[in-house]
Amino acid sequence: MGMSARMLQRYTLLLNSVACCTFGALLIFLYVADAENTTFSTWHENIVLGTSANLNATIHHVNTTLIQLCAAKNHGIPRMSMPRVGFSLNSTRLSGTVFTAASDTVIDSKSLLALVIVVSFIFHAWRVLVHRAVVQGDDVPRPDESGPDFLRWVEYTLSSPPMIIVICGTLYIRSITEITLLCTLQGALALSGWTIEQLISAVEFEKYQFSNSHRGITYNIYANLGKLAVVFGAAVIMHCVIWFELLTRYLTHEENFQVCALGLAGLPPILGQIVVVECVLFSLFACVPLVQILYIIFVAQTSSSFGVAGLVYSILSLVSKSVLTFLFVKLITDDSCVYTNYGQACM
């Protein structure tokens, strides 16, 4: 192992040691927070159909009330209403609307965040043991810093979906179906990082092997770049779907508070901080493989790029989880305030 590789191992050992200490401190910080209740109930959406005139009259009455509470959107479209749905069965016409029904699932955001911290601590502690043995010169199996690390993506697959659920809870997303879909999509997105790294590794190998060849960039590199573009594009779409939903929900809540006569003028400012900061940090994960592949293609290399990429991933993971924990604790302790038409009200 060359000097640069040895130094990389030492930096990796140091970072993972710091991460272990940080996650341990975060777990203590989370559970000493003075918060009585960090759980939230969820619901299912159900369509109720019937031929009863009373049902239609009730829907009409509720919609009339909602129009009085909230200003209409452009072109007179109601901002809030119970949607009318219809269904024809033979000669019978059924009509109704969408209701929500309480789900048996109750989610504890504090426990989920603790799970994220514990999972991350376990994986970083394992890396500390492995890299410590390598730095000391012991001949033991270790993650190869010259290539993809599968366990890294297993860690992110286990830890990032609960983070999305915690963020959903802070934004008052309560549909269990929506929460399930968002966290499942995040898990699939995280695991796709392994495929992306495998394709980057293949491109890197081809670049090394044929760097001095008269053929230059070979067909295999083009083929792997094409595969990488498809998988990376799919990952970007999944990321955009998740955060478009979260950001849209937050902005909709803010807009409704401003235009509806509900006695409230805005959400706690910290909710905006949570969703925006975490969106930026999650998005930075996508920048790492993009910069990595550009470096491989356009910059002459003498060593693998995966060691440095792994360090950057670890830093982003540590920062995103630490920031979410601090902001969540701040939300549930001393900053859960909303702005009303008569001043500020804190829960």
72/203 same-domain check: no
3-state helix, strand, coil in the chain (%, to 5): 65, 15, 20
Coil, helix or strand for 131?
A: helix
Say if 341 falls within a structural domain. no
Give the C-alpha separation, 310 to 305, whole Å.
9
149/201 same-domain check: yes
State which amino acid sits at residue 146: S
- CA-CA distances (angstroms) from residue 319 to 51, 56, 218? 56, 52, 39
214/256 same-domain check: yes
Query: Which of these three, 69, 103, 137, is where a domain ends?
Result: 103
Give the C-alpha separation, 313 to 317, whole Å.
6
User: Which of 167, 127, 162 is CA-nearest to residue 20?
Assistant: 127
- Section 107-123 average pLDDT: 95
Reported confidence tier of residue 343, pLDDT bands at 50, 70, 90 = very low
Query: Mean of the per-residue pLDDT values for the chain?
Result: 83
Report which of residues 173 and 333 the model is more confident about: 173
Q: How many domains does the chain have?
A: 2
Query: Does the pLDDT of residue 324 top 60, yes or no?
Result: yes
Say if 344 falls within a structural domain. no
156/252 same-domain check: yes
* Predicted pLDDT at 303: 67
322/184 same-domain check: yes
Range of the domain at 54: 43-103
Structure tokens at 229: 């573009």
* Predicted pLDDT at 211: 63
- Section 120-142 average pLDDT: 74
- CA-CA distances (angstroms) from residue 289 to 87, 89, 308? 49, 53, 11
Say if 133 falls within a structural domain. yes
Say if 192 falls within a structural domain. yes
* Predicted pLDDT at 157: 97
Please give the torsion angle defined by the CA atoms of residues 72, 254, 336 and 110, in that order, rounded to the nearest 10 degrees: 110
The answer to whether the CB of 305 falls within 8 A of the CB of 203 is: no
Residues above pLDDT 90, as percent of the chain = 46
Phi, psi dihedral angles at 341 (to 5 degrees):
-70, -10
Query: Does the pLDDT of residue 205 top 90, yes or no?
Result: no
60/140 same-domain check: no
* Predicted pLDDT at 215: 55
Report which of residues 32 and 7 the model is more confident about: 32
* Predicted pLDDT at 142: 45
29/142 same-domain check: yes
Q: Using one digit for the tens of pLDDT, what is the confidence trace for 250-283?
A: 998 888 777 776 666 677 888 999 999 999 999 9
Phi, psi dihedral angles at 107 (to 5 degrees):
-110, 130
Give the C-alpha separation, 18 to 245, whole Å.
34
User: Which of 326, 346, 273, 314 is CA-nearest to residue 126?
Assistant: 314
* Predicted pLDDT at 213: 57
* Predicted pLDDT at 1: 39
Structure tokens at 333: 């302790």
156/240 same-domain check: yes
Report which of residues 311 and 68 the model is more confident about: 311
CATH of the domain at 127: 1.20.1070.10
User: Which of 46, 44, 71, 12 is CA-nearest to residue 262?
Assistant: 71
- Section 326-343 average pLDDT: 69
111/146 same-domain check: yes
- DSSP-derived letter for residue 74 is G
148/256 same-domain check: yes
Give the C-alpha separation, 233 to 334, whole Å.
41
* Predicted pLDDT at 115: 96
- CA-CA distances (angstroms) from residue 201 to 30, 42, 104, 188, 196? 38, 43, 45, 20, 9
Query: Which of these three, 103, 124, 142, is where a domain ends?
Result: 103
* Predicted pLDDT at 302: 62
Say if 258 falls within a structural domain. yes
Query: Does the pLDDT of residue 342 top 50, yes or no?
Result: no
Element (H, E) at 191: helix 176-209
Give the C-alpha separation, 75 to 62, whole Å.
21
Cα Rg for the chain, rounded, in angstroms?
A: 25
Query: Does the pLDDT of residue 6 top 90, yes or no?
Result: no
Say if 211 falls within a structural domain. yes
Query: Which of these three, 85, 103, 121, is where a domain ends?
Result: 103
288/214 same-domain check: yes
Q: Using one digit for the tens of pLDDT, what is the confidence trace for 175-204?
A: 999 999 999 999 999 999 999 999 999 888
304/263 same-domain check: yes
- Section 243-248 average pLDDT: 96
Beta-bridged to residue 89, according to DSSP, are 92
Q: Using one digit for the tens of pLDDT, what is the confidence trace for 80-109?
A: 777 778 777 777 778 888 888 888 899 999
Give Cα 172 to chain centroid, integer Å. 16
| Most trustworthy range by pLDDT among 70-74, 176-180, 215-219 | 176-180
Reported confidence tier of residue 135, pLDDT bands at 50, 70, 90 = low
- CA-CA distances (angstroms) from residue 235 to 20, 41, 161, 164, 181? 29, 30, 15, 16, 15
